[in-house]
């Protein structure tokens, strides 16, 4: 039993090393820095680094003073993305969405309280399109992004409480960031009702993102799709139109995978009924 626990502890520490290096990128970390952050003996960390280097997971930084991720990590990531069929199915829909809107389209998954970008389609038609930093594998807090809020909206309340119930869990990134659980839950209720989420300069000042979830057959979010644009070029009416467009695209991907649509069917029925009534009134007026 003691040997099994030692193996599990070593495996966990190796994964912790990789995750710390993920956060640092090409800058890497020295063995001493890794040892300090892991609260582990430097000799143990050095041994782990040798094993990980031999297997192709880490390599020395350019200056030779630290460690960074190596090619095996990229292989694992590519294998995951290849098997993650929602990305494969969604790519064509995202490309069309970018073509129609002239905006960058992104896809992300939820990882606890963060979103992780897994796909991106660029569109360069609009001069106003911002340079959105969403490299594949990069992370952002879910509560202040349209992608994250779109997925959080379809989680049970107890999961939201677990993620954000502790004081200081919702940190402000801009003056518009939601920083209370009560306000977040109100926002998530609105998102469930209309089928899309809006990041109105909550993550980055001057940038608006509109996202909608891709739901599985059980109604839980598998991923989300969003578009991003400059606030100055997106009036409220345009944001609403984008929301409906993004929700339709996400719904198509959900349906292709046998999942549910975020936009309630009753809402679409009522929308059609209201449109029919308006046409009738117009005819009568004529």
Q: What is the pTM of this model?
A: 0.67
Answer for the pair 67, 28: CB distance below 8 angstroms, yes or no: yes
Domain range summary for the chain, segments of one domain joined by +: 2-75, 84-270
| Cα of 44 vs its chain's centroid, Å | 35
Looking at residue 279, its pLDDT comes to 38
- Measured distance CA(141)–CA(202) in Å, rounded: 11
What is the enclosing helix (H) or strand (E) of 154? none
- Residue 46 CB partners (closer than 8 Å, separation 6+): 31
- Measured distance CA(203)–CA(130) in Å, rounded: 13
Nearest to 187 by CA among 155, 228, 143, 224: 143
- Measured distance CA(123)–CA(228) in Å, rounded: 11
Q: Which residue has the tokens 């073509």?
A: 99
- Measured distance CA(279)–CA(236) in Å, rounded: 25
**Angle of CA points 146, 251, 280, to nearest 5°:** 105
Answer for the pair 178, 144: CB distance below 8 angstroms, yes or no: yes
| CATH number of this structure's domain 84-270 | 3.30.450.40
Q: Which residue has the tokens 């994964």?
A: 15
Q: Which residue has the tokens 């594949």?
A: 136
Looking at residue 237, its pLDDT comes to 87
Pick the CATH number of 2-75 from 3.30.110.60, 1.10.10.10, 3.30.1280.10, 3.30.960.10: 1.10.10.10
What is the enclosing helix (H) or strand (E) of 100? helix 85-101
Phi, psi angle pair for 91, to nearest 5°: -60, -45
The three-class DSSP label of residue 228 is strand
- Measured distance CA(10)–CA(41) in Å, rounded: 12
The three-class DSSP label of residue 59 is strand
How many residues does the structure list for the chain?
286
For residue 41, give Cα distances in angstroms to 47, 61, 65: 10, 22, 18
The DSSP letter of residue 218 is T
Half-sphere exposure of residue 182: CA atoms within 13 angstroms, side-chain side: 0
Quick one: tokens of 44?
Answer: 């143990």
The pLDDT averaged over each successive group of 10 residues in the chain (286 residues) is 78 90 83 92 92 93 89 77 72 92 92 91 60 75 96 95 91 94 96 95 93 91 93 86 94 83 51 42 35
Looking at residue 122, its pLDDT comes to 85
Looking at residue 197, its pLDDT comes to 97
For residue 78, give Cα distances in angstroms to 81, 225, 240: 5, 20, 35
């Amino acid at each position: 039993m003691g040997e099994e626990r030692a193996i599990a502890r070593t495996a966990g520490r190796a994964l912790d090393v990789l995750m710390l290096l993920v956060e640092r990128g090409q800058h890497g970390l020295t063995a001493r820095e890794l040892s300090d952050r892991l609260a582990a003996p430097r000799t143990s960390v050095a041994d782990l680094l040798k094993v990980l280097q031999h297997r192709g997971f880490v390599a020395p930084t350019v200056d030779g003073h630290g460690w960074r991720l190596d090619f095996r990590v990229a292989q694992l990531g590519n294998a995951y993305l290849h098997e993650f069929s929602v990305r494969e199915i969604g790519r064509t829909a995202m490309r069309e969405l970018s073509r129609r809107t002239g905006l960058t389209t992104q896809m992300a998954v939820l990882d606890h309280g963060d979103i992780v970008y897994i796909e991106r389609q660029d569109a360069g038609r609009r001069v106003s399109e911002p340079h959105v930093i969403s490299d594949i594998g990069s992370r952002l807090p879910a509560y202040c992004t349209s992608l994250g809020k779109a997925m959080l909206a379809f989680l049970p309340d107890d999961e939201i409480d677990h993620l954000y119930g502790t004081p200081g869990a919702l940190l402000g990134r801009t003056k518009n960031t939601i920083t209370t659980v009560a306000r977040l839950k109100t926002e998530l209720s609105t998102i469930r009702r209309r089928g899309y989420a809006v990041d109105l300069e909550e993550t980055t000042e001057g940038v608006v993102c509109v996202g909608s979830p891709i739901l599985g057959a059980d109604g839980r979010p598998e991923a989300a799709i969003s578009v991003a644009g400059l606030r100055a070029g997106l009036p409220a009416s345009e944001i609403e139109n984008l929301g409906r467009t993004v929700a339709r695209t996400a719904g198509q991907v959900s349906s292709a995978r046998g999942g549910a649509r975020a936009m309630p069917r009753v809402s679409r029925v009522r929308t059609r009924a209201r449109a029919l009534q308006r046409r009738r009134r117009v005819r009568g007026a004529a």
